[in-house]
């Protein structure tokens, strides 16, 4: 169970973010993204998330997503209307690939099966980077993929927990047991710059400015760069990767549902990973 101090910290964080941007700039004009993604649209995007076949059945309700988004008021609230909708579609597409239960001949197609899993199946390790002394692993704990973004590694669980109000190193399991915290970790990862990587948010809203190393690595702005941020070491720099194609397929379907274009540079086949 979370300590009361961590719960209080989380509540203070959400309150602060609702009224002030990450740079301390007042953000009272920010509105709920529920005006752009209604519960009906959410359910039409995730047609099968609550099927009996999905291990995450009933774990990803609409209200948990909207409540989590309130803690990150710039998400889906930056730029013109198309930019706002495109970012939401991109986020939902990426978490769909991370949690997909679809297959080529699945009912309603492979891209109607996002949010089917809440935890990595049969992880091959405990995802502990012992060289990271700032966020040390705890004995007996596994930092494998959990939640919508499949948060992984101690160096992500630690800062994610500190940011949204749980002990990520001692209690990583909560990401697969608490729907609101699960969505908060995914949005934290999306919104947070982790140098040399930009934030996914900045890429999707046009605030990414490539440095010399990015230009040399052909890391051009677009949805493909978001894939590079999330899982580039395994998926980018290789042609016709099935996982990358899955991410694109989800994005194309969702963009159509949002009535917005996807933009350019959808894949990362020609990008070097970070």
Which token pair is 269? 């086949």
Residues 6 or more apart whose CB falls under 8 angstroms from that of 96 comprise 46, 111, 113, 114, 115, 250, 254
Q: Which residue reads 């209080």 in tokens?
A: 8
Residues 6 or more apart whose CB falls under 8 angstroms from that of 26 comprise 19, 20
Residue 70: how many CA atoms within 13 Å on its side-chain side? 13
98 as an active site residue: the answer is yes
Do you find a cis peptide bond into 223, omega within 30 degrees of 0? Answer: no
Which token pair is 2? 């979370």
Question: Which strand (E) or helix (H) includes residue 171?
Answer: none
Q: How far apart are CA 190 and CA 91, in angstroms?
A: 8
Of 87, 98, 120, 235, the catalytic one is 98
Q: How far apart are CA 65 and CA 140, in angstroms?
A: 30
Q: Left (φ > 0), alpha (ψ -120 to 50) or beta: where does 139 sit?
A: beta
**Is residue 152 classed exposed, middle or buried when 0-12, 13-18 and 19+ CB atoms within 10 A define those classes?**
buried
Residues 6 or more apart whose CB falls under 8 angstroms from that of 123 comprise 142, 144, 145
* Residues noted as catalytic: 98
């Amino acid at each position: 169970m979370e300590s009361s101090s961590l719960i209080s910290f989380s509540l203070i964080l959400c309150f602060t973010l609702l009224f002030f941007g990450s740079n301390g700039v007042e953000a009272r004009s920010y509105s709920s993204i529920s005006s752009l993604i209604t519960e009906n649209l959410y359910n039409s995007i995730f047609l099968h998330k609550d099927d009996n076949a999905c291990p995450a059945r009933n774990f990803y309700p609409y209200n948990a997503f909207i409540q989590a988004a309130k803690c990150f008021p710039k998400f889906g609230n930056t730029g013109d209307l198309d930019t706002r909708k495109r970012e939401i579609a991109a986020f939902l597409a990426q978490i769909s690939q991370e949690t997909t239960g679809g297959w080529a001949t699945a009912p309603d197609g492979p891209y109607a099966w996002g949010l089917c899993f809440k935890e990595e199946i049969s992880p091959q390790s405990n995802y502990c980077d012992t060289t990271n002394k700032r966020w040390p692993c705890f004995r007996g704990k596994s930092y494998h993929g959990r939640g919508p973004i499949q948060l992984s590694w101690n160096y992500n669980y630690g800062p994610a927990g500190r940011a949204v109000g749980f002990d990520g190193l001692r209690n990583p399991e909560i990401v697969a047991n608490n729907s609101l915290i699960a969505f908060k970790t995914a949005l934290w990862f999306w919104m947070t710059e982790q140098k040399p990587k930009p934030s996914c948010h900045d890429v999707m809203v046009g605030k990414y400015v490539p440095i010399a190393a990015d230009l040399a690595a052909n890391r051009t702005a677009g949805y493909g760069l978001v894939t590079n941020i999330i899982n580039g070491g395994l998926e980018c720099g290789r042609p016709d990767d099935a996982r990358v194609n899955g991410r694109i397929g989800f994005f194309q379907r969702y963009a159509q549902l949002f009535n917005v274009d996807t933009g350019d540079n959808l894949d990362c086949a020609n990008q070097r990973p970070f």
